[in-house]
Amino acid sequence: MIGGGNAALCAAISARREGASVLVLEASSAFWRGGNTRHTRNMRCAHDEATEILTGPYTEDEFFEDLLRVTKGKTDEVLARHMIHESKAMLTWIAEQGVRWQPSLGGTLSLGRTNSFFLGGGRAMLNALYATAERLGVEIRYEAEVTDLVIEDGMFISATMKDGEMVTAGALVAAAGGFESNITWLKQYWGEAADNFLIRGTGNNKGTILKLLLDKGVQEVGDPTQCHAVAIDARAPKYDGGIITRLDCVVFGIVVNKNAERFYDEGEDIWPKRYAIWGRLVAAQPDQIAYIIFDASSLKLFMPSLYPPIAAGTIPELACELGLDPDALRKTVNDFNAAVQPGTFDDKILDDCRTEGLSPPKTHWARRIEVAPFYAYPVRPGITFTYLGTRVNKEARMLMADGRPAANIFAAGEIMAGNVLGEGYAAGIGMTIGAVFGRIAGREAARNARN
Amino acid sequence: MLATETKIAGTTLHHATAALAEADRLMTVCNSCRYCEGLCAVFPAMEMRRSFADGDLNYLANLCHSCGACFYDCQFSPPHAFAVNVPKVLAQVRNESYARYAWPRALAPAFARNGVTIATVAALSVAVFLFGFMLSNDPGTLFSKQTGEGAFYRLMPHNAMALVFSAALLYTLVAMGMGLRAFWRDIGETRETLRVPDYNAQASRDALSLRYLDGGGAGCMNVDEKPTKDRRRLYHHLTFYGFMLCFASTSTATLYHYLLGREAPYPIWDLPVVLGTLGGIGLVIGPLGLLRAKADRDPILCEESGRGMEQAFILMLLALGVTGLALLVFRATPAMGTLLAIHLGAVFGFFLTMPYGKFVHGLYRYAALVRSAKERESLHEPSPSAARALAKTSPKAAS
């Protein structure tokens, strides 16, 4: 197994349980193990009825419809349906590997219907998987970076380690993530704009293994510009700021670019359905920066985040704090305020607070920005993970460029997420892809190695 | 123009100590994450707040059982630059809070070098009893075999014993009551809350079962991220219930004495001896286990300034158990007099230092659990907007 996150560990455990001897090569040190899994929180699995941790049924069909909607149909239906079907068993399988689901905290308040939450979050989940893998006899090596692969005619022969050591195996599972932390690679598609991207997760996903595989004849899948990207606090560190730099206040205010101009309908739909489009929207703005502007009436309506908002007594003062043109920002806010129609504000539904005659409009939750102090959060595109990957079949076996299945090479997780996610995202689906295809890849790799 | 390096500011400008300021910073991080909300009572209590003044932080710190799970579950714990170490920082805040609530205030410095303080008081107390026994008894009585009913009271009259210990206990109760009052005021609670039977019942269940020393069900973590290596909950139970059995033993003996007119020492099958023996065993194994767990604790979790206090408290408990059992075993030998003096000295020293040592953790934690029970009650009734939100996709799923 190359990689050390959810997908790699599910593959390792599954292969070990099939009787294979398993070596996990994790490029990072023990603390940073698991790449982006450390930052995850939940997994989306289909289920036919409510359970102790899920408030209601979420059928395979509904899951698939959700996937079709977010990807705008850009998904491999056979793989997607297979994954969704297999996700049902994941609720119990993952718990059997020692991972704990978070029970209800008070009534059913803290529970979702579609997603199950890991008790203690992704790192707790990862710790449980590692403990189980170790107990089963999986060998785990840290700081074990693979720098080259020998693949002959679709057959994995050996991996070369950074120190020159050659590792051979009967089968390979590549679960080493995407290439989002490789800014140079991102620049191939995004140009200099990529310099202004923040990477929400691990700094270790340089895409080395993905590149090696593609260079050695594995078929590519996915649009290289597609990724999970949200607008996060621009003050976040370049890498690994994680969940706490996200901002949930777009719907409560307006978002302007560096010219103090609005550029998209902030109230298009409820936030959970729209938060993942804002990374790309901000990426398309000059200098890849934007500012969420709101007033005192909204300050406590959203989840707190890491950095305090920038505050000022008037809109022009706020503009100065942000380095924006004060007159331009005042005009934008005034135009917006003038366009706001009377309505009954309710942030839990698509309410009737909207603008009239404004372009772009704000179609819900539009309230005048008029109560001092005024606040702003600067935001930049925060890349969660990339979708360019290796094409696989239902066995999680990679397909070579000519369409033939690879002899003994499998993939799971981010490195093959593009098979299912052509674009868009639904919360928790990254972990579903990792766990389901990890389990399949491990099982198939073990059977393959045995034969 | 854009500040790319903004410090994580915390929510409140002024804090009494650096530890409180750091705790505010951590709660700002944690409140933006909330992954740990299923681990214990601290994080749900945190989620009910958006800003953290000293009183809030002292409440959260005393609610924390130091189980350690949130440290190993945290993606931002060191070496991550956000350096989130909730168990350690809350331990620091908690330890500081003990001194802050001490009554009388003049004795607050007792917490500063608590190990030395406790050891000195304990040694003095034992010495006073030893010398007292020597002065008030002729050597023949003190160092000879004393058996049969009233054997102990030939060395120290029962009424004198009862008087001295009642006085010490009374002082301790008053001092701790004042401490509790200071804590309760500091966190901003009302007297009424402490009187609600439901909250007390819930807090008692949580405290007696050490519900929150369990990492939310996965077990707590002391040595590393593997919960299986931690037995602190077991050892704490042995210590606590051992202590309570010893207390029950003494209480039963007092009742025997005054109601039935039966004087100690009692036969080994009798209730005070059975309770005391079982309790004593708990008070030996429990503290030894806790000492071991402290030694094994991952250094990164350890709050060094509280070390002396914790060791002193555990050693005092161990001393109670060991001297009590020794007295039982050797009560029919000439060593009885000396052992009785040592045991009574240890108990007396323990009583006197209760308000000025780790013992108060139980008091404040219980009170914090009462408040937590009150706050959690509101979780069970979804507000109208929450009920509506429930019908839709959980927004939390958007991570």
Segment B285-300, tens digit of pLDDT: 999 999 999 999 999 9
Q: What share of chain A is helix, strand, coil (3-state, %, to 5)?
A: 35, 20, 45
For B224-229, what is the mean pLDDT? 87
Q: What is the DSSP letter of A404?
A: P
pLDDT at B11: 82
pLDDT at A40: 96
With a cut of 60, say whether residue B5 has pLDDT above it: no
Name the CA radius of gyration of chain A, rounded. Answer: 23
Distance CA(B258)–CA(B273), nearest Å, equals: 17
pLDDT at B292: 95
A10-14, A258-262, A387-391, B129-133: least confident range: B129-133
CB contact under 8 A, B32 and A270: no
Distance of CA A316 to the CA centre of its chain: 36
With a cut of 70, say whether residue B158 has pLDDT above it: yes
pLDDT at B386: 47
- CATH class of the structural domain A6-226+387-450: alpha beta
Q: Of B29, B73, B216, which has the smallest distance from its Cβ to A306's Cβ?
A: B29
Q: Which residues of A touch B218 (CB under 8 A)?
A: 100, 119-120, 124, 128
Segment B182-193, tens digit of pLDDT: 999 999 999 999
Residue B227, CA atoms < 13 Å, CB-side half-sphere: 25
For B202-231, what is the mean pLDDT? 92
Query: What would you measure as the largest C-alpha separation in chain B, in angstroms?
Result: 89
Percentage, residues of chain A above pLDDT 70: 99
| Residues B316 and B284 sit within 8 Å (Cβ to Cβ) | no
3-state secondary structure of A426: coil
With a cut of 60, say whether residue B3 has pLDDT above it: no
pLDDT at B397: 43
Q: Which residues of B touch A275 (CB under 8 A)?
A: 398
Q: In terms of pLDDT, which residue wins out, B137 or B1? A: B137
For A198-227, what is the mean pLDDT? 95
Q: Map A287-342 to HEC letters.
A: HHCEEEEEEHHHCCCCCCCCCCCEEECCHHHHHHHHCCCHHHHHHHHHHHHHHECC
Segment A298-340, tens digit of pLDDT: 999 998 899 999 999 999 999 999 999 999 999 999 999 999 9
With a cut of 80, say whether residue B241 has pLDDT above it: yes
B323 falls in which pLDDT band (50, 70, 90)?
A: very high
Nearest chain A CA: its distance from B386 CA (Å): 8
Mutate which of B33, B35, B223 to test chain A, going by most A C-beta atoms within 10 A? B35
For A46-55, what is the mean pLDDT? 91
Segment A358-378, tens digit of pLDDT: 999 999 999 999 999 999 999
Percentage, residues of chain B above pLDDT 90: 77
Q: Does A30 touch chain B (CB under 8 A)?
A: no
Q: Name residue A194's amino acid.
A: A
Q: Please tell me which residue of chain B has the smallest CA distance to A196.
A: B4
B381 falls in which pLDDT band (50, 70, 90)?
A: low
Q: Is B150 left (phi over 0), alpha (psi -120 to 50) or beta?
A: left
Q: Please tell me which residue of chain B has the smallest CA distance to A42.
A: B397
Segment A242-299, tens digit of pLDDT: 999 999 999 999 999 999 999 999 999 988 888 889 999 999 999 999 999 999 999 9
pLDDT at B395: 44
Q: Does A73 touch chain B (CB under 8 A)?
A: no
pLDDT at B380: 62
Nearest chain B CA: its distance from A261 CA (Å): 18
Q: Which residues 210-249 of A are in CB contact (within 8 Å) with B? A: 234-235, 237, 240, 242-245, 248
* Range(s) of chain A covered by CATH 3.50.50.60: 6-226+387-450
Q: Name residue A164's amino acid.
A: G
Segment A149-205, tens digit of pLDDT: 999 999 999 999 999 999 999 999 999 999 999 999 999 999 999 999 999 999 999
Q: How far is CA A324 from CA A212, A260, B375, in A?
A: 44, 6, 44
Segment B263-288, tens digit of pLDDT: 888 999 999 999 999 999 999 999 99
**The two three-digit tokens of residue B79, written as one number:** 């070496």
Beta strands A172-174 and A405-411: pairing type? parallel
**The two three-digit tokens of residue B50, written as one number:** 């958006």
pLDDT at A105: 66
pLDDT at A106: 57
pLDDT at B126: 92
A110 falls in which pLDDT band (50, 70, 90)?
A: low
Q: Does A304 touch chain B (CB under 8 A)?
A: yes
pLDDT at B345: 95
pLDDT at B138: 83
For A420-432, what is the mean pLDDT? 93
Q: Please tell me which residue of chain A has the smallest CA distance to B73.
A: A124
Q: In whole numbers, what is the pLDDT of chain B averaged over residues?
A: 90
Q: Which residues 338-367 of A are in CB contact (within 8 Å) with B? A: 348-349
**CA angle at residue B140 from B135 to B144, to 5 degrees?**
115
B384 falls in which pLDDT band (50, 70, 90)?
A: very low
DSSP letters, A53-116, are: SBSS-B-HHHHHHHHHHHHTT-S-HHHHHHHHHHHHHHHHHHHHTT--BPPPSSTTTT-BSSEE
A91-105, A282-296, B90-104, B349-363: least confident range: A91-105
Stated pTM of the model: 0.93
Percentage, residues of chain A above pLDDT 90: 91
Closest-CA residue to A46 (of A31, A61, A32, A28): A61
A249-263, B52-66, B156-170: least confident range: B156-170
A400-414, B62-76, B157-171: least confident range: B157-171
B4 falls in which pLDDT band (50, 70, 90)?
A: very low
Percentage, residues of chain B above pLDDT 70: 93
* Range(s) of chain A covered by CATH 3.90.700.10: 230-382
With a cut of 90, say whether residue B9 has pLDDT above it: no
- At the second CATH level, the architecture of A230-382 is Alpha-Beta Complex (3.90)
pLDDT at B83: 95
Segment A56-88, tens digit of pLDDT: 999 999 999 999 999 999 999 999 999 999 999
Closest-CA residue to B312 (of B281, B339, B291): B291
With a cut of 70, say whether residue A214 has pLDDT above it: yes
pLDDT at A239: 96
With a cut of 60, say whether residue B391 has pLDDT above it: no
pLDDT at B376: 87
